Amino acid sequence: MHPFTISRVVDPREAIATHSGDAGAVFIAGGTDLLGLMKDRAALPAHLLDINALPGMGEVSALPDGGLRIGALARMSDVAADPAVRQRFPVIAESLLFAASGQLRNMASVAGNIMQRARCPYFRDDDGLPCNKRKPGSGCSALHGLNRGQAIFGWSESCVATHPSDLAVALAALDAIVHVRNPSGERAIPFAEFHRLPGDTPEQDNILGRGDLIVAIEVPARAEGRASHYLKVRDRQSYEFALVSTAAAVASDGRTIRSVRLATGGVAHKPWRLAAAEAALRGLSFDDETRLKAAIARSFRAARPLEHNAFKVELAQRCVLRALQRAGERV
């Protein structure tokens, strides 16, 4: 058993200062990922800072301009059920409802969700096999091992893991903003910059550092927000992480696509935005499936599948097409 202490913080400044000055301290919200990591000995913090009592971080606010501000401690189930979220950004509500289980969603916070760590079995299992994310410099067992669930984009020889969060895929498509406070003040991080590709330092999942506390996630008003959909493909229909997924949001003139936002999950170390497909889809008709497929394919030319996951290249494109069509039905 790894020994640790736990204390409850009620003042954000105290939480940030303690985290900032103690290399062994970690924040704990719902604990649904952190405690699993500790049991698997993939995280060995000396001190847990329970942030659940921090004031003003649990609410969902519908902004007057049509956007949203979601407090970092808002629970996944509460966000998914919020009327403004469901009406303005169905893709967010769906990404949450397709994640984990009802009990987990009642405990788990949105900040914890986007901070959750890879589900790569070599990382999670405490079996001593090399894993650069668990033990930097030890090697990557998945690169030439079991890699069916791993990345097809953006991986490096150091790590081929994918990011497991469904919500993060929806937030990436919508260009959300992560509000982070630290001893120097508050900063706004564009969602595309929040998570990292593995490169030579796969132990770093995102750009946060010591003393950084997520306080809220902002979703700016989007013309594409209401006609949006999250589609998740997995090995079983519930209580399972994505093999591939798509967040699609569109604006259209009748049956013609005016603008579209697309992000895929289960394919990279971070949510993967499909910029080439988004550009090629503009002006196409929802009814012209041949051209829709060709436009989507543009974003998959750069795919680099591993030995066991080439099927994801085709599966992900089908997932994008279906998500786009379903979003289009909501226009």
Give contact residues for ligand SF4 (rule: CB under 6 A): 118, 120, 122-123, 131-133, 140-142, 150, 159-161, 202
Q: Which is nearer to ligand SF4, 116 or 150 (CB)?
A: 150
Quick one: what does residue 140 bind among ligand FAD, ligand SF4, none, with the CB cut-off 5 to 8 Å set by partner type?
A: ligand SF4
DSSP codes joined into one string, 142-206: TSSS--TTS-SSS-BTTB------SHHHHHHHTT-EEEEEETTEEEEEEHHHHB---TT-TT--B
Q: How far is the CB of 72 from ligand FAD (least distance, A)?
A: 4
Q: CB nearest ligand FAD: which residue? A: 112
Q: How far is CA 165 from CA 15, 91, 139, in A?
A: 25, 14, 24
* Chain positions contacting ligand FAD, by CB under 6 A: 26-34, 36, 51, 72, 99-100, 104, 107-109, 111-113, 115-116, 164-167, 213-214, 241
What is the Cα 220 distance to its own chain's centre?
17
Q: How far is the CB of 21 from ligand FAD (least distance, A)?
A: 16
Q: Which is nearer to ligand FAD, 107 or 146 (CB)?
A: 107
Q: How far is CA 210 from CA 26, 31, 150, 292, in A?
A: 9, 19, 28, 44
Q: Which two tokens stand for residue 194?
A: 């929040």
Quick one: what does residue 49 bind among ligand SF4, ligand FAD, none, with the CB cut-off 5 to 8 Å set by partner type?
A: none
Terminal-residue alpha carbon distance, the chain: 54
Q: Which is nearer to ligand SF4, 58 or 139 (CB)?
A: 139
Q: Which is nearer to ligand FAD, 28 or 324 (CB)?
A: 28
Q: Which is nearer to ligand SF4, 197 or 223 (CB)?
A: 197
Q: Which is nearer to ligand FAD, 21 or 283 (CB)?
A: 21
Strand order from edge to edge, sheet including 213-219? 60-62, 68-71, 213-219, 177-182, 185-190
Q: How far is the CB of 139 from ligand SF4 (least distance, A)?
A: 8
Collapsing DSSP to helix, strand or coil, 298 comes out as helix
Q: How far is the CB of 121 from ligand SF4 (least distance, A)?
A: 8
Quick one: what does residue 36 bind among ligand SF4, ligand FAD, none, with the CB cut-off 5 to 8 Å set by partner type?
A: ligand FAD
For residues 319 and 264, is the Cβ–Cβ distance under 8 A?
yes
Q: Which is nearer to ligand FAD, 112 or 202 (CB)?
A: 112
Collapsing DSSP to helix, strand or coil, 8 comes out as strand
Q: How far is the CB of 101 from ligand FAD (least distance, A)?
A: 7
Q: How far is the CB of 225 from ligand FAD (least distance, A)?
A: 20
What does the angle CA 87 – CA 93 – CA 99 come to, to the nearest 5 degrees?
170
Q: How far is the CB of 150 from ligand SF4 (least distance, A)?
A: 6
CA gap 256, 196 in Å, rounded: 34
Quick one: what does residue 133 bind among ligand FAD, ligand SF4, none, with the CB cut-off 5 to 8 Å set by partner type?
A: ligand SF4
- Tokens 């719902």 belong to 30
